[in-house]
Amino acid sequence: MCAYHGSLTLAVMSIPVAIIGLGAVADSHLAAYRELPEIEIVAVVDPRAERVRQVSERVGAPGFLDCASMLKQVRPRIACVLSTVASHRTLTEMLAAAGIHVLCEKPIANRVQDALAMKEACAHHGVQFMYGSSYRYLPAVMQARELIASGTIGRVRLIEERGVVGQGADKFVPMSAAHYPEGTPGGGGFGLFDHGVHLLDIFPWLLGSPIRRVLGRGNYTGRAMEPEFALLEHECGALGMLTYDESTVSSDLPWEGVFSHGHSWVLNEGFVGAVGEWSAGASFIRVHGTHGALRIFHYANRLFLAVPGEVRELTVPAGAAPEHFGRQLRAFIHALDRAQPAPSSIDLGIGALSTLLGIYRSAETQRWVDVK
């Protein structure tokens, strides 16, 4: 055990929350959680001692080098598992056994059997598991979903995201094997596994229609990086398309960007940039329907509607990244307080992972793979 902070006293009315894993995304969660008066950060955990010391001092909560030591001293009601993907299962099982509700970052795990074990552990110990489906809390994405449901763009035929954002093979840095072990599906931070998993969850949610079958290919840790793609056939007939390649060179032109109303995610740095700043490579989703189309700048928090002969920008509420993490945690707390299931259930995480691995299987069989 390594406690860096003397006091373990909890405020009576606030909800005690532990942060497990203090990497880049933890800074964004913590920034958003500062705006939630209803919670108190009661512990921060990471095996990196210096990082624990810094964050512990900054947030004024005791720090620990491992989850088991934390559990001997602190009783959070919720633990946010923001650690490496490969550690999600062990941590979730440990927290569930201690009776602590879990909010876990995406991807839920590396393998479906790990995710199913996490579900079993949570059910067995009667704790709730909230899948970190954070895009569901981004205002531009939320508003786009309402527009699609109301029929504004007609019947959706095509939905796509393209991420060819690299600076060449020499500059490409894959995600570490601590997240995606050697020889298993992995790749880059803006690749199919680590990033595309967001879209495999969000496309069906935006369209109100599950994915029926998939075809594509993805990268593996330790192997040569190739372009990644996925074709997704939704039950409504819409085709989803994902294309990623971070080890080639982007062809974006300098004026192809937006003045961002949010922050951009940069690997190992978190959400950076200032609101109002020019964002040359702001990522976006395109949705094409029979009457109109949407361009959703999910992090830049801007939304454009195109109808024949006209493109106009729609007003989107404020509260982009990283504030969406606060909205996500608040939604979980709201459900817990009402004894309702977590709004983004563990099945969403399992579903997104199964779809992802279905894409990898399709590369082996060279055939479409049905998604259950």
Ligand X SMILES: NC(=O)c1ccc[n+]([C@@H]2O[C@H](COP(=O)([O-])OP(=O)(O)OC[C@H]3O[C@@H](n4cnc5c(N)ncnc54)[C@H](O)[C@@H]3O)[C@@H](O)[C@H]2O)c1
In DSSP terms, 17 is beta-bridged to: 41, 78
196 sits in which H/E element: helix 196-207
Q: Cβ closer to ligand X: 24 or 307?
A: 24
Q: Is 270 left (phi over 0), alpha (psi -120 to 50) or beta?
A: left
Residues 293 and 203: their CA atoms lie apart, in Å, by: 15
Residues 328/137, Cβ–Cβ less than 8 Å: yes
Report yes or no: 370 and 357 within 8 Å, Cβ to Cβ: no
**Helix/strand/coil for 61:** coil
Q: Residue 365: which H helix or E strand, with range?
A: helix 346-365
Question: For binding to ligand X (CB under 6 A), which residues are involved?
Answer: 20-26, 45-48, 51, 67, 82-85, 87, 91, 105-106, 132, 134, 194, 265, 268
Smaller CB separation from ligand X, 14 or 69: 69
Closest CA to 321 of 162, 177, 141, 154: 141
Shortest distance, CB of residue 311 to ligand X, whole angstroms? 28
Q: Are 184 and 220 in contact (CB under 8 A)?
A: yes
Measured distance CA(53)–CA(63) in Å, rounded? 7
Between residues 15 and 55, which has the closer beta carbon with respect to ligand X?
Answer: 55
What minimum distance in Å lies between the beta carbon of 117 and ligand X?
16
Shortest Å distance, C-beta 28 to ligand X = 7
Which is nearer to ligand X, 139 or 292 (by Cβ)?
Answer: 139
Amino acid at position 31, single letter:
A
The nearer residue to ligand X, 85 or 293, going by C-beta atoms, is 85
Q: Where are the beta strands (DSSP E) in the chain?
A: 15-20, 39-45, 63-64, 78-81, 101-104, 129-131, 156-163, 211-217, 228-234, 239-244, 258-259, 264-266, 270-272, 278-279, 285-289, 293-297, 302-307, 310-314, 369-370
Beta carbon nearer to ligand X, 43 or 148: 43
What token pair was written down for 356?
């992802």
Shortest reach from residue 362's CB to ligand X, in Å: 23
Specify the pairing of strand 156-163 against strand 78-81: unpaired
Nearest-approach distance from CB 52 to ligand X, in angstroms: 9
Minimum gap (Å) between residue 132 Cβ and ligand X: 6
C-beta closer to ligand X: residue 67 or 147: 67
> Considering beta carbons, is residue 24 or 112 the nearer one to ligand X?
24
Least distance from C-beta 87 to ligand X, angstroms? 4
Q: Which residue is nearest to ligand X (CB)?
A: 23
CB of 297 to ligand X, least distance (A): 15
